[in-house]
Amino acid sequence: MIARFSKLSNTWNHRDALFQRGDWFVLRQAMGDVQRQMLALVYAVNGRYVEHPYFKWNSLIIKEMTRKPDGFEERLASLYTLPLQEAVRELECLWSEVEQLTRGGAYE
């Protein structure tokens, strides 16, 4: 599962260009894809099964997890209220921390 969800899309890899040319819809869609992949990875490192394809009851399940970035729930929620460029940067930070968890390490 970790190998399956660890590779980010080309759309996300071009997020700065999407932002610069104002492709908000495509950028938000790419952000959603990254969030779904990141959630799948957090579930995997916690040995949890994704019970619903849209992560139903996600906030309750995440609270029970022990291996996740600090403030994970709040930081995920902030992606919907932060200005777009800040949300992209926060998602990059979250992705980096989750990626480190998948390698069995702590993050800094």
Residues in the chain: 108
Domain definitions of the chain by residue range: 14-102
Using CB atoms within 10 A of its CB, is residue 58 exposed (0-12), middle (13-18) or buried (19+)? middle
Q: What is the pLDDT of residue 37?
A: 94
pTM above 0.85, yes or no: yes
11: Cβ contacts below 8 Å, ≥ 6 apart: 18, 26, 29, 30, 33
Segment-wise mean pLDDT, segments of 10 residues, the chain, 108 residues: 90 96 96 94 89 71 93 95 97 97 72
